[in-house]
Amino acid sequence: MKRSILAPAAILALVPLIANTVQARTAEPSAEATVNKGVVVLETGRAAGISVRIAEDLANAIDDGATRRVLPVTGKGALQNITDLKLLHGIDMAIVQLDVLDYAKQQKLFPSLEHGICYITKLYNEEFHLLVRQNIENFADLAGQTVNVDLRGAGTEITAGRLFQLLNVAVTTTNDDQEVALEKLRRGEIAALAFVAGKPAPLFRALTGEDGLHFLAIPLSPAVTAAYMPSRLTAAEYPGLVPPEKPVDTVAVGTVLAAANLQEASERYRNLANFVETFFTGFQSLLDPGHHPKWREVNITAELPGWHRFRPAERWLQRNVPVAAVPNLDQLKAIFLRFIEERQQATGEPPMTPQDKDQLFGQFETWQKNQVR
């Protein structure tokens, strides 16, 4: 029986092909492992708000190109984000409104929700914007009118429904995408557009009074201020819509960086713990110019009663609480003075002089130092 014998030259010719094949097979898993190493997926709201920008700031601060990466994905709103955090494969974190989180818990949309998800930190406040046609002059004028409240499951739908109920104004709601609703508002097909978003919201950036639209003030009744924080929309945020001397009263709701309930031994858990360590350690850098100004409202030590903090975040705070609790003095004073001004506006108290404000802030500093002991 004859055997086929390859010539030495043919064998030599095959060696590079074999080597390349082996190298490709070994390189492929290595490349896949590298790309996926340290990845955490963060679900945001849509581009009409600011959470996409917040996620970009986080990604730029966390990503190192080798061991850590934040991958933002665009969601459909706070209620949907909670659903995705619970049920959608691969979602590690989500930015969620606090009133929507409480709504989901109270309505028992998920069994034992407070044990099914946790939180990493409270974030910034988002303001309630109510953009209306020129003929709508006060909140009562909206009775029986059509108001868009964003997509179903969006945080705006929950907040708007609660506010209209608290103020005893019955409206007809629609659930169009906000950009679509804005065009309908311009054409007079709807009376108003409600939107919960951190100011200044990109959706309103290009609008001016010439569009025939304006922001409507929210009546700050005792029922409303018991549920939401008083706030204002000013010409500094919306120069085309708000006159310098006529800020618009509204309310704000807090947001939270929520996390999925992950198994401690899993790779996703380790990736999220790595994210928290880097985020908290480098948090001060997010207060620098070039990042969204809403970061200045974030206090990573703030607690969320009734909810559990992600354990690595809790451990980091326990190790670093003296450092984390020391605020930037200018930042703290700015927040304090803004609180005083908004409180005066909400209650109708007379304005304080700069000297009175400085004196009161000095007393606050003394009080705070005594609390840290």
- Tell me what the pLDDT averaged over the chain comes to: 85
Q: How many domains does the chain have?
A: 1
CB–CB of 101/254 below 8 Å? Answer: no
Question: Rounded to whole angstroms, how far apart are CA atoms 264 and 74?
Answer: 26
Question: Rounded to whole angstroms, how far apart are CA atoms 159 and 172?
Answer: 15
Position 12 pLDDT exceeds 90: no
Task: Find which of 6-10, 346-350, 352-356 is predicted with most confidence, using mean pLDDT.
Answer: 352-356
**Host H or E run for residue 321:** helix 311-324
pLDDT interval class at 22 (50, 70, 90)? very low
- Structural domain contains residue 159: yes
pTM for this predicted structure: 0.78
- Structural domain contains residue 122: yes
For the segment 52-64, the average pLDDT, to the nearest whole number, is: 94
Confidence at residue 370, expressed as pLDDT on a 0 to 100 scale = 45
CB–CB of 219/139 below 8 Å? Answer: yes
Confidence at residue 206, expressed as pLDDT on a 0 to 100 scale = 87
pLDDT digits (tens, 9 = 90+) for 174-186: 999 999 999 999 9
- Structural domain contains residue 307: yes
Position 364 pLDDT exceeds 90: no
Position 55 pLDDT exceeds 70: yes
Position 371 pLDDT exceeds 90: no
Position 122 pLDDT exceeds 90: yes
pLDDT interval class at 37 (50, 70, 90)? confident
- Structural domain contains residue 136: yes
- Structural domain contains residue 290: yes
Q: Residue 215: which domain range?
A: 36-326
- Structural domain contains residue 17: no
pLDDT digits (tens, 9 = 90+) for 225-261: 999 999 999 999 999 999 988 999 999 999 999 999 9
Confidence at residue 33, expressed as pLDDT on a 0 to 100 scale = 67
Question: Rounded to whole angstroms, how far apart are CA atoms 160 and 173?
Answer: 10
For the segment 344-362, the average pLDDT, to the nearest whole number, is: 70
Dump strand ranges (E) for the chain.
39-44, 69-74, 93-97, 117-133, 146-148, 172-174, 192-197, 213-215, 229-233, 248-260
CATH code of the domain in which 99 resides: 3.40.190.10
Position 325 pLDDT exceeds 70: no
Confidence at residue 66, expressed as pLDDT on a 0 to 100 scale = 83
| Contacting residues for 103 by C-beta, under 8 A, at least 6 apart | 79, 158, 162
Q: How far is CA 176 from CA 32, 151, 152, 162, in A?
A: 40, 6, 9, 19
- Structural domain contains residue 366: no
- Structural domain contains residue 12: no
CB–CB of 203/258 below 8 Å? Answer: no
Surface-to-core class of residue 302, CB atoms within 10 Å of its CB (0-12 exposed, 13-18 middle, 19+ buried): exposed
